[in-house]
Amino acid sequence: MAHKNNGSNGHRHAAGKPTRYSAFGLFRRGLSRSDWPRAWQERPLKSTYDVVIIGGGIHGLATAYYLAANHGITNVAVLDKGYLGGGGSGRNTAILRSNYLTPEGVRFYDRSLHLYERLSSELNFNVMFSQRGHMTLAHNDNSLRTLRWRAEVNKLQGVDSEVIDPDEIKKLVPYLDTSTDTRYPILGALYHPPGGIIRHDAVVWGYARAADAHGVHLHQNTEVTGIETAGGRVTGVRTTKGDISTPVVVNCTAGWSSLISDMAGVDMPVTTSPLQAAVTEPVKPFLGTVVVSGTLHVYVSQTDRGELVFGASVDPFTSYSMRGSLEFAEGLAGHVLELMPAVSKMRLLRQWAGLCDMTPDYSPIMGPTHVDGFHVDVGWGTYGFKAGPVSGEAMADTVANGRPPEIIAPFGIDRFTTGQLVGEKGAAAVGH
């Protein structure tokens, strides 16, 4: 998961002109045996920027990219205390889908899916988006009811989503145990053909490279230690590499976001919990779709390399620790075998954890705050990777035009004082 380099050492290139990746280029470089140029540059930290984005995950990098590409705002710095994609963006299970529960949610995530569909060509970077279908199983009448509800909301928003029965499930995923004498028999599933998986690191690197090409500064190993305000406005940011003055700060720090908001004097309805995942040794392809079970709190997909990737729900307490636990691996194995007894001989290769910024209604918190110039793009919980492109687009729009666009209006921080929550728990309780 954790790749720290950004391509091999090689020639530098001028801003605005990244090397174009192509089959022909690959062939030519194979013959000449020269190094590939760096995908992005290390530049000196300036003392002033028009916009400072805290957090070099997909949300921060996408925001930087769309600020430059859609609005021509390029005097921008992205700061990360570690390396780009070292947070949730490099630790997630890379599932994309838009079959949410509320109309606001479905509309929002579907816009993201559409941006993802053309991301490889837009960024000239292969993000390996595989729309192999996504299936959420129901093991009791209650969840079947929620799935029907979701299917109807989805269809009204033009999203391909329907409830299918155990026979159809068996056809799509023959290795699932669809017999009726199990502890949690499968009664039906919500099937969402456009959902799938993607190469998460490639998305991060693709946005970083494209933002860098527009002149955005990417500063790794640069931790924000304070935020300066004066008269209710943001005026600057303090970092371990020096102070920066700026009129606009965007908080894209996910699991750490309430600590950053605290620095600006903005309270958040957020708690941080670890979410764990695990991967097995690779085997031949046998699992063509993503399979999720809310009742068993588990989901599984098979990567292009053949490994099974498993995820679950967040650890049952808050913490900033990213250590995995044996309880997780044990519980996960039990639940997976309940669904697919055939994989009992497969071995787990590794497990890991990332931090999730959970909100009370399982929806994000996006837009301006009561501190002028301090914007948040947080509350991404266990589901924010799929939202990267639309969030970047919308946050760039917010910064450029001074107010949030319609598509993120429901996700403002004010909803927690007015009571207008956007309840997505029914579609987001199992983390993916």
Partner 1 sequence: MIQLPCPWCGPRNASEFTHHGEVTSRPDVGTATPEEWRRYLYFRQNANGWVDENWYHTAGCRRFIRVRRHTLSNETEAAR
Ligand X SMILES: Cc1cc2nc3c(=O)[nH]c(=O)nc-3n(C[C@H](O)[C@H](O)[C@H](O)COP(=O)(O)OP(=O)(O)OC[C@H]3O[C@@H](n4cnc5c(N)ncnc54)[C@H](O)[C@@H]3O)c2cc1C
Decide: 107 and 99 in contact? Cβ < 8 Å. Answer: no
Spatial CA neighbour of 209 closest among 84, 364, 113 = 84
Read off the amino acid at residue 154: N
56: contact with ligand X by CB under 6 A: yes
Output the six-digit token pair for 122: 């837009």
Could you tell me if residue 381 is left (phi over 0), alpha (psi between -120 and 50 degrees) or otherwise beta?
left
Give CA–CA dist 235/230, Å, rounded.
7
Q: Which stretch binds partner 1 (CB under 8 A): 12-20, 74-82, 182-190, 261-269?
A: 261-269
Residue with smaller CB distance to ligand X, 94 or 427 = 94
Residue with smaller CB distance to partner 1, 6 or 102 = 102
54: contact with ligand X by CB under 6 A: yes
Contact pattern for ligand X over residues 235 through 274, marking x by CB under 6 A? -----------------xxxxx---x--------------
Residue with smaller CB distance to ligand X, 16 or 226 = 226
Handedness of CA 43, 44, 48, 54 (dihedral sign): positive
Residue with structure tokens 């620095």? 263
Q: Which stretch binds ligand X (CB under 6 A): 16-24, 77-85, 123-131, 183-191?
A: 77-85
Decide: 222 and 232 in contact? Cβ < 8 Å. Answer: no
Residues 289-348 that bind partner 1 (CB under 8 A): 316-321, 325-327
Give CA–CA dist 409/405, Å, rounded.
6
Number of Cα atoms under 13 Å in the Cβ half of residue 192: 31
Contacting partner 1 (CB under 8 A), which of 1, 128, 164, 259?
Answer: 259
Residue with smaller CB distance to partner 1, 185 or 412 = 412
Contact pattern for ligand X over residues 378 through 397, marking x by CB under 6 A? --x-xxxxx-----------
Classify residue 5 as exposed, middle or buried by CB count within 10 Å of its CB (0-12, 13-18, 19+). Answer: exposed
| Total residues binding ligand X (CB under 6 A) | 42
Distance in Å, CB of 321 to ligand X, minimum: 12
Give CA–CA dist 377/391, Å, rounded.
7
Residues forming the site for partner 1 (CB under 8 A): 256, 258-259, 267-272, 316-321, 325-327, 360, 416-417, 419
Residues forming the site for ligand X (CB under 6 A): 54-60, 79-82, 86-89, 91-95, 223-224, 252-256, 260, 275-277, 311, 354, 356, 380, 382-386, 431-432
